[in-house]
Amino acid sequence: MPWAAPFAQSVVPSGHMEIRINKSSGVPVRQQLEEQILLLIVTGRLKPGTAMPSVRELARRLKIHYNTVSEAYQDLVRRQWLDRRRGSHLIVRGMREGVPLEGSLSLDDIVALAIRVAREHGYTLQELRRRLREILAEEPPDHILVVAEDSGLRRLLHYEVQQALEWPVESASEKDLAGNRGLAIGALVATPAFAMPEVGPMVPKSRPPVPLNFAPPDVLVTEVGKLREPSVIAVVSASDLCLRSAAGLLASAIGEKHSLVQFLWPIEDSKAIAGADLVLCDSLVAREMKMKRCVSYKLIDAESIRHLRAAMISYQER
């Protein structure tokens, strides 16, 4: 439904600028013009430094009186959304650090403004919602979303990605993402390589998930190999999945010489591992451990972290 009602309208394209005026609306033309310019600015369609059309040019294109355009421009200058340069030249003003614009809008204000403008031009809320999701899906990611079904593994991956990279990190289960695809909006999804077949179809095709491969436990095997006497080896992890994997990966190094005990973190009684000769733990548990003979292990391999960083930078530079 391009337009819900047959009313007079004018459109002015100028780069990302598109304004529609409904002369039969009960809303004054000057207010329509000012609100739509403001909406274009606060949603980033008009970037700081963008030159505005002259008063007469915009009035001619919209088929409205130039005084109406002049008044709207003057009000936006007064409210510090536009800047006047030499002569009558106007540009979109940038936000200066620590200096809020007069009449700055909250997120709720911006959403309400978008709804009102859309309704005035005959769009339904469903059309607005669908188009907004399409636009947001194409925006560069501003955070990383770690997706893993196992809660412990998800916490561990979240922690390691957060420690390694400078962007905000959020996390969700596969079930969460399946029930709410909107979680992937504005995010670059990272997930264990084994989960790619399940997670891949749930994110936009234009931004496929980045697989996280796990580092080989070489450092742990080496530490076990250094033990000359029969020893008790404790493996501690926030992930039950990692604990199950550790038993198999360390089996050959432990053999019949050593004993293996496993603990899922958090441990109710930390004294339970006090008798261990060697404690092997993941990076999340390592920050809490106080034992001297403790070797930590980063689950995500370095190449996956580099790939994730490069992908994030690439999307943001587009």
pLDDT by residue, tens only, the chain of 318 residues: 233 333 344 444 444 467 888 887 778 899 889 888 988 887 778 888 888 998 999 999 999 999 999 999 999 988 888 888 766 678 888 654 444 555 667 778 788 888 888 887 788 889 888 888 777 777 889 999 999 999 999 999 999 999 999 999 999 999 999 999 889 989 999 999 999 999 999 998 889 999 999 998 888 889 898 999 999 999 999 999 899 888 888 888 898 899 999 999 988 877 778 888 999 999 999 888 776 688 999 999 999 999 999 999 999 887
| Widest pairwise Cα distance in the chain | 93
Tens of pLDDT, residues 201-247: 999 888 999 999 999 888 888 989 899 999 999 999 999 989 988 88
pLDDT at 39: 83
Phi/psi at 120 (5° precision): -60, -25
Beta strands (DSSP E) in the chain are 11-14, 17-20, 82-84, 90-92, 143-147, 169-172, 187-192, 210-212, 232-237, 259-264, 278-282, 294-297
pLDDT at 292: 67
CA angle, 79 then 80 then 83, to 5°: 135
Q: Output the pTM of the full model.
A: 0.67
Q: Please confirm whether the linkage preceding 266 is cis (ω < 30° from 0).
A: yes
Tens of pLDDT, residues 63-89: 999 999 999 999 998 888 888 876 667
**CB-CB contact of 147 with 189 (8 Å):** yes
Q: How far is CA 120 from CA 19, 32, 109, 112, 126, in A?
A: 12, 9, 16, 12, 15
Q: How far, in Å, CA of 224 to CA of 150, rounded?
A: 28
pLDDT at 102: 58
Q: How far, in Å, CA of 200 to CA of 48, rounded?
A: 36
Q: How far, in Å, CA of 155 to CA of 159, rounded?
A: 6
Q: How far, in Å, CA of 132 to CA of 290, rounded?
A: 50
Q: Which residue has the tokens 């130039």?
A: 66
Q: Which residues contact 204 (CB under 8 A, 6 or more apart)?
A: 137, 138, 184
Q: Is 218 helix (H, G, I), strand (E, B) or coil?
A: helix
Q: How far, in Å, CA of 228 to CA of 277, rounded?
A: 11
Q: How far, in Å, CA of 277 to CA of 286, rounded?
A: 16
